[in-house]
A and B are shown apart, each in its own frame.
Chain A
């Protein structure tokens, strides 16, 4: 197979095959409804404490377990709470089996949406090593963008905003607006369907919203939550490599790679 050469589309056909194969094995979602306080009660630290702002105007810090979401986030606290809840329903976690909340998936998206609040922007990690397996940590030295990359990523994230140089194919709705609008609509859907805001709904009810809500936005959410689960931690997700550990994946391996024995005897771990 040559999947690595063609990552963006060959995978979807593997996925198609998997749907057919695995459909009978659809697991029941058996998580209990969340307590008041929201979806975030599956917390990163397993200590049961999650603090979410209670209303849209709140400015109190958001905490996940004993981790406080740093200042300078893009999303408002209210939308951040909605995103936490949506992600938590997409890939649920608990202390023994981390999910979106435990890997800080919402923070991953917030880092992307607000990438240009850092200089260089947090788009492309540096090279060549993470430092986890020897060598220096180059990943955390994010790379300056070229002129064209800068225009591309500002347009993609912020939208064209009426700027002619960003409208090479007409007006563009940026990812920031996509998230703001998408979360607000999902929240409105939650209100009309369940009589409660998205941030305070239980996982099962939110999962139901995914089936009736904007399919494109749900696909976007799913793509990003998966990126946050298994992407390099330098981008803000995969906190403490919990995503990789969950699926028994070793992650980046340079500069040590694998030994001949690790290659030929993978069952030894």
Chain B
């Protein structure tokens, strides 16, 4: 189960995700982020993971593809507010800097 909520904070479009990002929800998450990237007129987009309890390889893949889509759309994309468990996932896969920094690779 995953849900999303989009709101604006200053000049950042924030997509707050909640629940689990795994095999069953990864496609939805990717779609939500893709839509947000397309629709926003802002130049910065954050995926707020404070309410995300679980992230596996499919979830990671969704985040990676979102980052690629953002780079193509010239939107700065970063994930924020993740739990220690999710931080560990990002560090293990060696993509912590890539995903948490707004810059492209």
Answer yes or no: do A and B interact. Answer: no
